Structure formats: structure tokens, C-alpha cells
Amino acid sequence: MSKLRRPFLGDRYIFVTVNLLRSRSKLEESDYGRLAIALARMRRRQGFVLTVWVFLPDHWHAIIYAPHPVSISRVMSAVKVSSMVAINHGRHEKGELWQERFFDHALRTVKDYWQTVEYIHLNPVRRGLVKRPERWKWSSFPEYAGVDAAEQEKRCGLAIDRVRLPADEKARI
């Protein structure tokens, strides 16, 4: 869990990045599946909203809305521990998996939100993993492109929570 003091507890859309420890081997297909299951399980337990996500070999991104009194730190701690246990079990390994701290950025406007969604979904393309975002299985992009939640859940085990944002890109969120 991060030891940074965060000036807000919840009720915000927060862009998070979690990095793999440099000493650990890159995530593989089976690890992504375990991460998806852990994230879905912690979402049910913690009651947070997941609106965008992508898993990559050495890090993952998401936009999470943690309703008060749930804090983003509590959410991230739960997700990191749960996914570490699942991935370590699957790999027959022990020890920390994720860097202790995580990056977070509170999204303030609708424009900021949509720019972050685009950044997240294009990450596999920028990293050279695929030529088009729809080719990367471990992303919420298909739902944004029209795939329904049930199909996405069957495809990779994790679907997004759909939210309504104001149409005005300058609106505060």
C-alpha cells in the first residue's frame, strides 16, 4: 500500500497505474486472467466502480471510482494483495509482485476523463503489442467499441461498470 497521503478519500474518478516489480518476470496470458478475476472479486467486496482498464506485461491501468468511505488506497491495497496471491499461486512463486506505490491522478473534467480513456486503450498499440487496440484482449476497449458486457465477461473475465458523464467536456466530475 502506498504511504503517500492522498488529499481525497473517495467520490472521484481516479486514473491508477500499478507497476510490476522489476525483479519479477513479465505478466503472461494466465496472469492476466488471474488479475482480472482478482480485480472483479475486489470490486464486489469493496464496492468500487471500474470504468476502464488495460493489462500489459509490466503494468496495468484503470479508472476507478471509490465511493466514500472507501478510499483509493484501500481499493488498491486489496486489489494488489489479491492479485499477487493469485498470480504467485499460479506461477508457484512467492513474494511481492507489484511496486509498493502506485500512481494516481484524480480526473477533474469530462475532457480529462475521455483523454485518459484514450490513453489507456491505446497503450498496447504504443507499446508495440498490437497494431490496433481491438486486437488486445486484456482491455476494456471492446466494450467501448460496442461489445456487450456479457460477451466481454466471457472473453476475459472482466467487464466495466457503465457510467453517465455530462456531455459538456468542461464539466467537472
Residues 156-172 pLDDT 10s: 999 999 999 999 999 99
Q: How do residues 69-124 score in pLDDT, each as one tens digit?
A: 999 999 999 999 999 999 999 999 999 999 999 999 999 999 999 999 999 999 99
Higher pLDDT among residues 98 and 5, named by residue: 98
**Tell me, what's the pLDDT at 4?**
52
Superfamily of domain 13-156: Transposase IS200-like (3.30.70.1290)
Report the b/e string of 132-167 with b at 16+ CB within 10 A. Answer: ebeebebbbbbbbeebeeeebeeebbbbbeeeeeee
Q: Is the dihedral of CA 93, 45, 68, 173 positive or negative?
A: positive
Please determine, for residue 29, whether its predicted confidence score (pLDDT) is greater than 80.
yes
**Tell me, what's the pLDDT at 116?**
98
Q: Where are the domains of the chain?
A: 13-156
Report the b/e string of 58-69 with b at 16+ CB within 10 A. Answer: ebbbbbbbbeee
| pTM confidence score | 0.92
**Tell me, what's the pLDDT at 85?**
98
Please determine, for residue 125, whether its predicted confidence score (pLDDT) is greater than 90.
yes
Confidence of residue 1 (pLDDT cuts 50, 70, 90): very low
